[in-house]
Amino acid sequence: MSHIGFFNIPGTGHVNPTVGIVAELVDRGHRVSYAVPADQGAEVEKAGATLVPYESTMGRFRSTMTELEDNDRFTTGDFVQVLHGLVQETEALYPQLERVFADDRPDALIYDGLSGWTGRLLASSWGVPTVRSIPTLAANEHWSLGTDGEYADFEPDHPGLQAVYEDITAMLARVGSNSSAQEFFEGSESGPALVFVPREFQFRGETFGEDFHFVGPCWSERRFDGEWSRAGGVGRERPLVFVSLGTIHNDNVAFFQSCVDAFAGLPWDVVMAVGNQIDTAVLSGVPAHVEVRRHVPQLQVLREADLFVTHAGMGSVMESLSFGVPMVAIPQMSEQRANADRVVELGLGALLHRDRVTAQALREAARGVLGAPSYAERAGWMRERIAASGGAPAAADVVESLLTTAQAHR
């Protein structure tokens, strides 16, 4: 039995895709320790991991992701802001987790490949093999969200860059690394990675080498999500439309009111998950066939849905396609716009710009997707590709092969 460590950052879109891997590794007899803030840890504990809770400094995470300079294109200023936050987070977490694991070091570590600096640095100091966890589109020299001019603007002479690079180099020195900021970033995309999308969904997927394991979504049934059942029972003839903007960008009352107005007179059943940031009482004219709740168990609803109106976060996109559900994508930031563009490119749904959401536009987009069989057919094809990617068992195979190789070189 090996000891496998996980390090993840706060965020359901980062934690949920790994829960199935935890369960699979535990079922195979491994011991799993999972470092994540306590309020994110219930599902991984239920999957069999030992929770290693840490105190995060990312209290501004929500505002960091909603107060961008440009929601359509990630700017250098946004990049600098995120890097400053990661410097503070790493300096706070590194000593916490170094103490926790001092006498119980993992044999291998899986860490968030986007922002999991603490996990990567600890594994380097321990000399244990690592696997990156990538819950978004992956990046290589042929395609990257940060270098694709469609989704990001990068100014090499931005005044904040030099300062933040100096902060990163100083932080690295304080935790015992002799790397410069440049060397640290150059090594950030090396080594094996678990990518939670099928290769067919990845932009330029054919250009990614053998270190990128496109295992597809690895979620498991979320035991703490509650229960939901469709009014009138399963299998009703009316189409079911599910609406959600995820957990961060769900403070838009006007959007949800537009959904109510768009679907009020249509012969569809509608489920809207609006989150905890708005008062549902302010929504007016909600008809009986539109169910408004703060939270619903998303996987249960998607099993019966015919259409998903979504912000196009990758977790939601993959969960939708796991059940063959086409989408109307309304991205709220550049990363989600890339996901939405890929959805459209592959014929899996339609895109509606967040600034052009009206009741009429929503109604037309939803009718267009529901009324054209090709969208459901393409979503069914992607569902097959997701199943063929292997999911949690394929991911666990990668981790075990890494352990075998490490043991052979001891």
Helix or strand holding residue 241 (H, E): strand 240-244
Question: For residue 61, is pLDDT > 50?
Answer: no
pLDDT band at 65 (very low <50, low <70, confident <90, very high): very low
Class of 3-216+390-408 in CATH? alpha beta
Residue spans of the domains in the chain: they are 3-216+390-408, 240-387
Pairing verdict, β 349-351 and 50-52: unpaired
DSSP 8-state class, residue 385: H
pLDDT at 108: 96
Q: Name which of 9-18, 124-133, 257-266, 372-381 the model is least confident about.
A: 9-18
Which residues are CB-neighbours of 77 under 8 A, at least 6 positions away? 69, 158, 160
- Please check whether residue 315 is in contact with residue 15, taking contact to mean a CB–CB distance below 8 angstroms: no
pLDDT at 69: 57
Structure tokens, 226: 């509650």
Q: How far apart are CA 8 and CA 15, in angstroms?
A: 7
Question: For residue 343, is pLDDT > 60?
Answer: yes
Q: How far apart are CA 168 and CA 111, in angstroms?
A: 19
Stretch 86-100: mean pLDDT? 93
Which candidate, 275, 310, 311, places its Cα nearest to that of 294?
Answer: 275
Q: Name which of 120-129, 234-243, 301-310 the model is least confident about.
A: 234-243
In CATH terms, the fold of domain 240-387 is Rossmann fold (3.40.50)
Pairing verdict, β 212-214 and 290-293: unpaired
Stretch 162-176: mean pLDDT? 91
Q: How far apart are CA 307 and CA 325, in angstroms?
A: 6
Tell me the residue length of the chain: 410
pLDDT band at 62 (very low <50, low <70, confident <90, very high): very low
Stretch 82-99: mean pLDDT? 92
- The rounded Cα 80 to chain-centroid distance in angstroms is 21
Stretch 42-70: mean pLDDT? 77
**CB atoms < 10 A from the CB of 127, how many?**
8
pTM: predicted TM-score of the whole model, two decimal places: 0.93
- Residue 266 to residues 88, 254, 257, 359: CA-CA distances in angstroms? 50, 20, 15, 12
pLDDT band at 229 (very low <50, low <70, confident <90, very high): confident
pLDDT at 198: 98
Structure tokens, 43: 């599902």
pLDDT digits (tens, 9 = 90+) for 312-326: 999 999 999 999 999
Q: How far apart are CA 10 and CA 58, in angstroms?
A: 8
pLDDT at 232: 64
Domains 3-216+390-408 and 240-387 alike in fold:
yes
pLDDT digits (tens, 9 = 90+) for 236-278: 689 999 999 987 767 788 999 999 999 998 999 999 999 888 8
pLDDT at 236: 64
